[in-house]
A and B are shown apart, each in its own frame.
Chain A
Amino acid sequence: MSKKWSLVAVVAVLAALVVTSCKPQVVEKTVVVTVPGEAKEIVVTATPAPVGRPNILRVNLGPGDVPTLDPALATDTSSVQVIDMLTVGLTRLDEVTLELKPGMAEKWEASEDGLTYTFYIRQGIPWVRWNGKEVEQVLDENGNPRMVTAHDFEYGIKRTCNPDTASDYAYVLGFAVKGCNELFNAENWGELTDEEKQALIDGVAAKALDDYTLQVTFTTPAVYNLNIIGMWVAHAMPKWIIEEKGDRWTEPGFNQSYGPYALKEWVHDSYITIVKNPFWPGIESSPQASIEEIKFTMLDASPAFAEYEAGNLDVAGVPLQDMDRVKADPVLSKELVIAPMACTYYYGFNTSKPPMDNVHLRRAFSLAIDRQGLIDNVLKGGQEPAQWFCRPGMAGCPTPDKYPDLGVKYDPEKAKAELKAYMDEMGYTDVSQIPEIILMFNTSEGHRRIAEAIAQMWKETLGIQVTVTNQEWKVYLKTLQEDSPHIWRLGWCMDYPDANNWTREVFAIGGHEENATQWRNEEFTKLLEQAALEKDPAKRQDMYAQAEQILVWEDAAIAPIYWYTRVTCTKPYVNRTFSQHGHEMFEKWSIQP
């Protein structure tokens, strides 16, 4: 008699555990109820809850197919957005505060010199894949589920640096991990012997000491190392499936991942569907997902917003031309949110081409841009006028509250004074004596509007009429590198949220736009090299502030214009966060039923 009771009790407890641990999504539940006095099992079916909204989120990624879902090969925001849902790096950023949090590495220890870090990888996280019906764990040849190990991270890092992979962003990893540069820069890689190749690969300083300990040696004790090591290019990658399927391993059915979501379907140029991975236990920086399924469409901005208004998309960016209507619409204006985005729009100068080789003239041009007027009348997206290059919010970047007078602001009087200083220096008496100045941009609607407006501002304030011209995108990029015009436009978006990624990587000697600006300042570069290693955040910010002052004021190599924002409408039934770093963390979102 007592045996039967204890059996029933155990079953009841187990059933209760199962019931309470399930998320309240499934509406039907069978509960085993014990009736006192009778050793009988009665099965009770709970009444189904009313059918609410399906737990599916529909988002638009942007026009064009996602170029790749291979972490080693991804460079653009669409790819990274999906990849960051499928896999998690050693560290993971909080998307709202941009704080660095532990990711797949629970904790880490640094060596004395700050160059060698030991990461302790979380245990019990399996590789999974979509098998056509559901997400299942991946089994190895012995039938045991494969877990994510330090070996997978070592493989991933080395794979990115390997020239055979031909990864675009290997160079970013090369800023941090020792030995990576040597690997992808290898001379005559194709002609090396296998041993020589293996030696170079082994030279990459990322080593798995055991299944769950990863040791990485960095090139410099820079503050941003932990940022870079958490980027998608250093995620764990499944060696077995990559070697088996080659380039096709990212296709649905073969794709293996371990993060909050798994890849379900990919119809090229149309949409991608990812589905919740129930085996992801959830960590602080990346909890278990609430939304079951996410469908990413690949539409242009205008059709996407039309779909949003028709109720077929839950989140959509507001196209510039519809801004006025949306702001005035009673329903849409409530759904509208303007959030900061980690990008800067700027005009650069070719500092070696007369008349732009004179710093007074450059300052005059920079001061004469009515940034707020541009934002209010042309851009309409609530953007922020940029006083310097690096976007506030990035680690180390100065912020307008702390440094209100840093950099450059709209000041027509000062602009005219600088212009006068230039003309006196050159001995001009009239603006018509100034040689022709060309403003160039890559052909696009948005850039054209801005260029026309700014050219007009220069005419009104300084009396100088610049020649506005445009070139096709690739031709333009080539022109910038080979023979850039007096004034050219570009934007920069972050790869990792640190000032180093901005001011140093772009404008220091050897930076991306060295050829376009023809500006090489030793003091500036040295300052930035030191700032990369400075541990005290206040001191560090100061150093970057100094650097920015040189960049946009003392030498006025560029004229920063605005810091990007994102204007999105979100349906009221979506609970969401607004990411500062360019892609969303959908595992933190939820849908009200």
Chain B
Amino acid sequence: MAESSRVEALRTALPQRRKTASLWADALYRLSRNKAAILGGVLVILLTLTAIFAKYIAPYPYDVQDRPNANSVPSWMLAVFPMMKSYAVVSDKFLLGADYVGRDMLSRLIYGTQISLSVAYVGPIIALLVGTIYGLVSGYFSRWVDNIMMRFVDLMYAFPSLLLIILMMAFFRSTFAQSEPGTFAYAMNKIDERFGGMLFIFIGIGLTAWMGTARLARGQVLSIREQDFVMAARAVGASHLRIIFRHIMPNILGPLVITVTLAIPGYITTEAFLSFIGLGVNPPTPSWGSMISDGSQAIRTYPPQAILPALALSITMFAFNFLGDGLRDALDPRLRGTQ
């Protein structure tokens, strides 16, 4: 029987229901509606582009020293920090001033995105990948699997990473420095140089960063494991793999993404700390961490030298966090189909 015209009229009048989409498409849609997240995403993309095209954007090279103009400040900065008037060299040559050997701060900040973003991407990616899977497995398969895996995490937490980093640095910089082209060691050394001597620091950070994510994931899994929908999935006969990745993981991603984005300044601070104690980047490669560490020594005399990279870091953090928040909101299955 043909539908009555009334029903037909209703159907055309009511808004079309969205087609049922996969979790990820749905998430993407919801993400696009979140203004703060868009802003964050745009900033992240801008920063990444800055890092990639630093050579073309930066007004000066990052290593040219203008020694007579060391520590110089542009005139507008004097208005912000009047206390520097009595001793600061004023020069409008550099937009954001110069560092202690006369290198342009702005250029160094731009080039610094390369190292700092690398740190920000590599560390958390390793942490997220390794940590999430590890925590999922550990929390799901309880009892002695969980026990052993968590004891290993305890071990890694207490691991003398500083020792390991020094050892790796010593090894790489002495042995690998004399290796023949074409060998693995030589390739590693070249990559290391490209990163300003930080390759193994990334490795070190990655090695020591996944445990937090693992414990977090595991804690979440323990909580979710007992919920009804998991029992239901099991009753239906879903395999362990399916349960873990299809059912449990989307539910734990929220706090995980947050922690990981929150941890980014931690990585950069670790890199700053390593510079502080003398194990950081090779000069003259700039990184925000080492710039903050350098600048903090002069913070009472030339505040901009520490404040500027800290500001750059804050902006990056805002970007990653809003994006991260948006991601979490978008990936929350409970909001699926709404909004």
A touches B (Cβ under 8 A): yes
| Contact (A473, B278) CB under 8 Å given A321-B100, A453-B65 | yes
A308 to chain B, nearest CB (A): 12
The answer to whether residues A452 and B302 also contact, given A472-B278, A475-B166, A475-B170 and a CB cut-off of 8 A, is: no
Proximity string of chain B (298-333) to chain A, C-beta cutoff 8 Å, 1 when within and 0 when not: 101110000000000000000000000000000000
A472 with B170: CB separation less than 8 A: yes
Q: List which A354-387 residues lie within 8 A (CB) of chain B.
A: 373, 377-378
Q: Indicate if the CB atoms of B282 and A470 lie closer than 8 Å.
A: yes
Among candidates B102, B279, B283, B284, residue contacting A472 with C-beta atoms closer than 8 Å: B279
B173 partner residues in chain A, CB cutoff 8 A: 469, 471
CB neighbours (8 Å) of A445 from chain B are 278, 294, 297
A44 to chain B, nearest CB (A): 53
Q: Give complex CA distance A544, B281 in Å.
A: 41
Which of B67-75, B139-147, B260-268 faces chain A? B67-75
The answer to whether B67 touches A377, judged by C-beta atoms less than 8 angstroms apart, is yes
> Does B87 count as interface, using CB distance less than 8 angstroms?
yes
B81 to chain A, nearest CB (A): 12
Contact A322 B301 (CB under 8 A): yes
Please tell me if the beta carbons of A453 and B278 are within 8 angstroms of each other in the complex. Answer: no
* Chain B residues, Cβ within 8 Å of A329: 86
**B13 CB → nearest A CB, Å:** 72
Identify which of B71, B283, B300 gathers the most chain A CB atoms within 10 Å of its CB. Answer: B283
CB distance from A507 to the nearest CB of B (A): 25
Contact (Cβ within 8 A) B86 A328: yes
**Nearest-CB distance from A552 to chain B (Å)?**
25
Report Cα–Cα, A445/B282, bound state, in Å: 11
Chain A residues with CB below 8 A from B130, complex form: none
A355 to B207: give the CA distance in the assembly, Å.
Answer: 40
Decide if A269 is an interface residue (CB 8 Å cutoff).
no
Kindly state whether residue B169 has any CB partner on chain A within 8 Å. Answer: yes
Q: How far is the CA of A1 from the CA of B144 in the complex (A)?
A: 105
User: How far is B71's CA from A470's CA once the two chains are assembled, in angstroms?
Assistant: 24
Once the chains are docked, how many angstroms separate the CA of A327 from the CA of B302?
A: 14
Question: How far, in Å, is B248 (CB) from chain A's closest CB?
Answer: 44
Q: Which of B68, B280, B300 is A325 in contact with, Cβ under 8 Å?
A: B300
Do B71 and A324 touch (CB < 8 A)? yes
Task: Let me know if A453 and B170 touch, CB within 8 A.
Answer: no
Q: Is A319 an interface residue (CB 8 A)?
A: yes
Interface residues of A in 441-463 (CB under 8 A from B): 442-445, 448-449, 451-453, 456
CB closest chain-A residue, reference B295: A321
Interface flags for B257-293 (1: CB within 8 Å of A; 0: not) read 0000000000000000000001110111000000000
- Contact A449–B100 (Cβ < 8 Å): yes
Contacts A378-B70, A443-B278, A479-B174 known; A449 to B101 CB distance under 8 Å?
yes
Q: Mark B192-204, 1 if CB is under 8 A from A, else 0.
A: 0000010000000
Choose from B63, B86, B100, B297 the contact partner of A378 (Cβ within 8 Å).
Answer: B100
Contacting pair B282 A468 (CB below 8 A): yes
Set of chain B residues within 8 Å of A456, measured between Cβ atoms:
65, 67, 101
Contact of A324 among B63, B87, B101, B278 (CB under 8 A): B87
Taking the closest CB of chain B, its distance from the CB of A377, in whole angstroms, is 4
When distances are taken between beta carbons in the complex, the residues of chain A under 8 Å from B70 are 377-378
Q: Does B149 contact A (CB under 8 A)?
A: no
Q: Is A302 an interface residue (CB 8 A)?
A: yes
Determine the residue in chain A with the shortest Cβ distance to B69: A377
Which residues of B sit under 8 angstroms from A472, Cβ to Cβ? Answer: 166, 169-170, 278-279
Please tell me if B88 contacts chain A, counting CB pairs below 8 Å: yes
A50 → chain B closest CB, angstroms: 35
In the complex, A362 Cα to B220 Cα: how many Å? 64
* B interface bracket (residues with beta carbon within 8 Å of A): 20 to 34
Q: Could you tell me the distance in whole angstroms from the C-beta of A152 to the nearest C-beta in chain B? A: 43
Q: Which of B159-215 contact A (CB under 8 A)?
A: 166, 169-170, 173-174, 177, 197
Map CB proximity to A onto B95-112 as digits: 1 under 8 Å, 0 otherwise.
000001110000000000
**Interfacial chain A residues near B300, Cβ < 8 Å:** 306, 322, 325
Closest chain B residue to A309 by CB distance? B300
A8-27 interface (Cβ within 8 A of B): none
A117–B67 Cα distance when bound, in Å, is 55
User: Residues of A contacting B284 with CB < 8 Å?
Assistant: 452, 468
Which positions 303-323 of chain A face chain B at CB distance < 8 Å?
306, 319-323
- A485 CB → nearest B CB, Å: 10
Interface contact A451-B302, CB-CB below 8 Å: no
Contacts of B302 in A (CB 8 A): 321, 324
Tell whether A325 pairs with B87 under 8 Å between CB atoms, given A444-B278, A471-B173. Answer: yes
Chain A proximity of B183: nearest CB distance (Å): 18
Closest CB-CB distance, A530 to chain B, in whole Å? 40
The answer on a CB contact under 8 Å between A452 and B283 is yes
Task: Specify the chain B residue showing the minimal Cβ separation from A301.
Answer: B297
For A378, the chain B residues whose CB sits under 8 A away are: 67, 70, 100-101
Quote the shortest CB–CB distance from A434 to chain B (angstroms). Answer: 18
CA gap between A327 and B300 in the complex, in Å? 14
Q: How far is the CB of B204 from chain A (nearest CB, A)?
A: 14
Q: Are A325 and B67 in contact (CB under 8 A)?
A: no
CB neighbours of A468 from chain B (8 A): 282-284
Question: A322 — which chain B residues lie within 8 A by C-beta?
Answer: 298, 300-301
What separation, in Å, do the CA atoms of A306 and B298 have in the docked complex? 12
Inter-subunit contact A324/B297 (CB<8 Å): no
Task: Give the docked Cα–Cα distance between A264 and B298 (Å).
Answer: 36
CA distance A444 to B293 in the complex (A): 12
- On chain A, the residues within 8 Å of B297 by CB distance are 302, 319-321, 445
Chain B: CB-nearest residue to A327: B87
User: Which of A323, A325, A453 has its CB near the most chain B CB atoms (within 10 A)?
Assistant: A325
- A323–B102 alpha-carbon span in the complex (Å): 16
**CB under 8 Å from chain B, chain A span 409-456:** 442-445, 448-449, 451-453, 456
Q: Find chain A residues with CB under 8 A from B88 CB.
A: 324
Which residue of chain A has the shortest Cβ distance to B274 in the bound complex? A443
The distance in angstroms between the C-alpha atoms of A403 and B169, with both chains bound, is 45
The CA-CA distance from A323 to B88 in the complex, in Å, is 11
Q: Nearest-CB distance from A114 to chain B (Å)? A: 47
Instruction: Give Cα A522–Cα B170 distance, bound, in whole angstroms.
Output: 35
Q: 0/1 per residue, A314-349, Cβ < 8 Å to B?
A: 000001111111011100000000000000000000
Given A452-B101, A456-B65, are A328 and B87 neighbors across the interface (CB < 8 Å)? yes
Given contacts A443-B279, A452-B101, A468-B283, contact A325 B301 (CB under 8 A): yes
Instruction: Output the nearest chain A residue to B167 by Cβ-Cβ distance.
Output: A475
Instruction: Please indicate the chain A residues that have their CB under 8 angstroms from the CB of B67 in the complex.
Output: 373, 377-378, 453, 456
New A-B contacts (19) at CB < 8 Å, excluding given A469-B173, A473-B278? A302-B297, A306-B300, A319-B297, A323-B301, A324-B71, A325-B300, A327-B87, A328-B86, A377-B68, A377-B70, A378-B67, A442-B278, A443-B280, A445-B294, A452-B63, A456-B65, A468-B283, A472-B169, A475-B166
Interchain Cβ contacts under 8 Å between A and B, 16 examples = A320-B297, A324-B71, A325-B86, A325-B87, A325-B300, A325-B301, A378-B101, A452-B101, A452-B283, A453-B65, A456-B65, A469-B173, A470-B282, A471-B169, A471-B173, A472-B279
